[in-house]
Amino acid sequence: MNLKRIYIISIIFCISLTLCADEAVQDTNYYNLRVIVDGINRIEGKILTIAVPKEDYKADGNFKGRADISDVDNYTMEFVIDSLKQGEYGLISSVILNDDLRTFYILDYQYAFSRINDKELDIDIKRGEPQIIWPAFDDIKISIPETKVIRLILSNNKPK
Give pLDDT tens digits for 92-143. Answer: 888 887 765 555 555 567 888 887 654 455 555 565 655 566 788 888 899 9
Q: Tell me, what amino acid is at 150?
A: I
Q: Tell me, what amino acid is at 117?
A: N
pLDDT at 159 over 60: no
Residue 72: the pLDDT is 93
Those residues with Cβ within 8 angstroms of residue 136's Cβ, 6 or more apart along the chain or in another chain? 59
User: Of all residues in the chain, what percent carry a pLDDT higher than 90?
Assistant: 33
Neighbouring C-alpha atoms within 13 Å toward the C-beta of 150: 30
pTM > 0.75: yes or no: no
Q: Are 64 and 90 in contact (CB under 8 A)?
A: no
d(Cα 159, Cα 42) in Å, to the nearest integer? 8
Residue 75's pLDDT band (cuts 50, 70, 90): very high
Q: Which residue has the higher pLDDT, 160 or 149?
A: 149
d(Cα 91, Cα 54) in Å, to the nearest integer? 11
pLDDT at 8 over 70: no
